[in-house]
Amino acid sequence: MPLTLYGIPNCDTVKKARKWLDNHQLDYQFHDFRKEGLSQQNLEQWCHALGWETVLNKRSTSWRALSDEQKADLNQEKAIALMMEAPTLVRRPVLAKDGQFKTGFKDTDYQVFFNL
């Protein structure tokens, strides 16, 4: 299974993650979910593995733009529906490798994830 980094190219955190992967000469595929879309299957996998609370980015401008009604009574099903509607609600980037997933970017977390 190839290494895939999901995100949007103009996101600063995604840029940092891509630079880190490049600097460590790791071969990866970049999936721009603004252009290429986001599959419900991927989103469900991420939420199952990491928890929907981790995958949903409540600090994003997309989250702040939601109505109070949309934010109310959140559960996994509702969170997935919101993220499918607005992929920028996904905490970026999402790194997928051999059925393991990681959201966000921190140098030390990536070192542990890749056993470096």
- Angle (deg, nearest 10), helices 40-50 and 76-85: 140
Q: Is 47 a catalytic residue?
A: no
H/E element holding 4?
A: strand 4-7
Query: Which residue among 3, 4, 11, 113 is the active-site one?
Result: 11
Task: Indicate which residues carry an active-site annotation.
Answer: 11
